[in-house]
A and B are shown apart, each in its own frame.
Chain A
């Protein structure tokens, strides 16, 4: 006897958001990327659409990441000393669908780059790659409020992904994005109510919902991943039930969180019981990504090319149509 299949009737879906702009659209990108649009819980193709697959953004810094694990630094070698060369390598051999450029050197402690210098870096990266680019400030509000508007203006029309807009600091960044036709990242601290509240505040400024990507914050594998997993699941469920202020595509800094873990970093000499460090680190990043793909993450910000390759294969497997 055939089993009576139980399908959910979802009234809502995730807003589709396009990143980057081609020459006809007022930018210089060779291609654009669209994320979101899902109308079911993750990967349940039998009851909804997943029109756009999750994508990988490779994290690129505007300074050499001395403190990163050697296994990650070995991947691009000297190219990491120059943001444009690093970004180019990430696209050509690292599996990057887009670049997540962090302007860390604007931090007074890390180089105190001026807004003009930051603009020059972004321009160089844009010239080096054809994919869409996200540009993130150094995390100090006063600095970012000078740097990000300068970048937004100098790259008007590119539809960059600009961040981070937070509850304490969103006005300047959102205004700059609106005026110069970019998209923003709205970041909240692992709390679904604060996530929704920030989206309301930002849309009240007049920016259309399809110009917002949500960074709900994540925890890495072993260190708070479950919080991120459940926030993601709850946000997707809320979105499908019609809550438009939650129904936005999400971004998560997978590489950053995963490579913070002791398990990703300590050598096998120090912890022989944990096995080879490079393999462990790569899988720590890839498993963090794979689990969050199950709770609905749309843009995965990652570091190691081998972890990215694993995630892309996983996405291809998950995108394979299924039927019940």
Chain B
């Protein structure tokens, strides 16, 4: 039964100490009611209150951590079914799988290759998140050897995939201190796997076979250990999506406890390309971890971009860094365009300028990520503001001329901008699609 903010407030210490990062106990209570914070942020809450609030205040999906220090990643803690309702918070972790049937130089090369799956894209550093080692050999020592090879090199957290308790124990002896994700506790081995997970304080995957058996097993395991991730055991894509969606739905709409944990999915198609496509479906639909074997940069880059898209905050427009951008082989005589730093606006302009094949500079003017007309209406894209940016961004030292192209929709600012900045203003096309023809007519 969900409690209201006031119900919760009655049970709090009412010290208004602010240690929970909320201004008052009442604000904290409201935040709890909306699942925006956690009860353990309050250092003074009584045991009795914890008991009473435990169920109501716990997030519908538990936050579970894997890895340590630089490799640490968070899973779960989602509160909605659709990103437009609020946002998805913890991007799906990409885990690339390595088989323990590899050994020696082959294994070394593979680990090195997977370790390098990191990218620079739209000004951000992104990478895969985990290396998974699978006990395909069926041999505990081979598994330990492969895990050792990974542990020696990897900068990522790891997933250890074996249902053999002996193999898991050997692997954990090597890498347990790095809090790997243990895959998996099953109906047959769960007691021993829980012991191992507890010993190393590592997150544990509970693997069932469909919704019913998974829920049963999670309940059994959760009685003694709660750092859990769910594997529904289903691998066929449409069945798996149906089950994962149901898991998320029950956790969020019904607070069904056995499903209140992050979910792991496996992209099991034969070809790496098909695995990428499968993984894309799981990124959009609720998997906190996707394991795949595809290991080429060209195959993982699209998935990192998809994560950035799906897990962006719909309330906050995506922005590019406000700066001078050089498109093509620019010279001090290249034309200069100015637009806003709303990512969609900027990249549309960049695409068209690039397609015009006239090397140019584009100034992404800081407008808090608003589009041209919105920014203009809000006073963020006018003669004063653009002049400020022209003087600060360094373009005056970069080009010899003083001509700037503005978007056609804000032709009215031409006079003010010329007067303030001392630059000559050319009014460009109203839509970015006109840039190609404009560039050919003016700069070719």
Contacts and interface: CB of A to CB of B under 8 A. Distances in A.
Contact of A290 (B121, B238, B281, B437): B281
B238 A321 contact: yes
B85 to A, nearest CB: 10
Which of A4, A221, A282 has the most C-beta atoms of chain B within 10 angstroms of its own C-beta?
A: A221
B239 interface: yes
Nearest to A226: B309
Nearest to A265: B354
Interface of A: 1-6, 41, 43-46, 67, 109, 139, 219, 221-227, 229-230, 233-234, 237, 260, 262-263, 273-277, 279-280, 282-284, 286-287, 290-291, 293-295, 310-311, 313-314, 317-324
Contact of A284 (B236, B243, B302): B302
B401 interface: no
Interface string B197-212: 0000000000000011
Nearest to B211: A3
A232 B211 CA distance: 28
B298 A276 contact: yes
B305 A44 contact: no
B73 interface: no
B437 A109 contact: yes
Contact of A275 (B269, B274, B297, B314): B297
Contacts of B433: 139
Interface residues of B, number: 60
Interface stretch (B97-105, B177-185, B244-252, B332-340): B244-252
B309 A225 contact: yes
Which of B84, B211, B236, B310 has the most C-beta atoms of chain A within 10 angstroms of its own C-beta?
A: B84
Contacts of B238: 43, 45, 317-322
Contacts of B299: 275, 279, 283
Contact of A234 (B84, B237, B269): B84
B358 interface: no
Interface of B: 82-84, 118-122, 211-212, 215-216, 236-239, 241-243, 245-246, 249-250, 253-254, 256, 258, 269, 273-274, 276-278, 280-281, 283-285, 296-299, 301-303, 305-306, 308-310, 312, 314, 343-344, 347, 351, 354-355, 433, 437
B286 to A, nearest CB: 10
B297 A283 contact: no
B343 to A, nearest CB: 8
A286 B277 CA distance: 7
Contact of A280 (B83, B283, B301, B355): B301
A46 B244 CA distance: 13
Contacts of B254: 4, 6
B409 to A, nearest CB: 14
B273 A294 contact: no
Contacts of A223: 343-344, 347
Given A1-B216, A234-B84, A273-B120, A221 B306 contact: yes
A222 B437 contact: no
A284 B304 CA distance: 11
Given A3-B250, A317-B237, A324 B211 contact: yes
26 contacts: A1-B216, A4-B256, A45-B242, A46-B246, A221-B306, A221-B309, A226-B314, A229-B83, A229-B309, A230-B84, A237-B82, A273-B297, A275-B296, A275-B298, A279-B273, A283-B298, A286-B276, A294-B281, A310-B277, A311-B277, A313-B277, A314-B237, A320-B238, A323-B242, A324-B211, A324-B246
A6 B273 contact: no
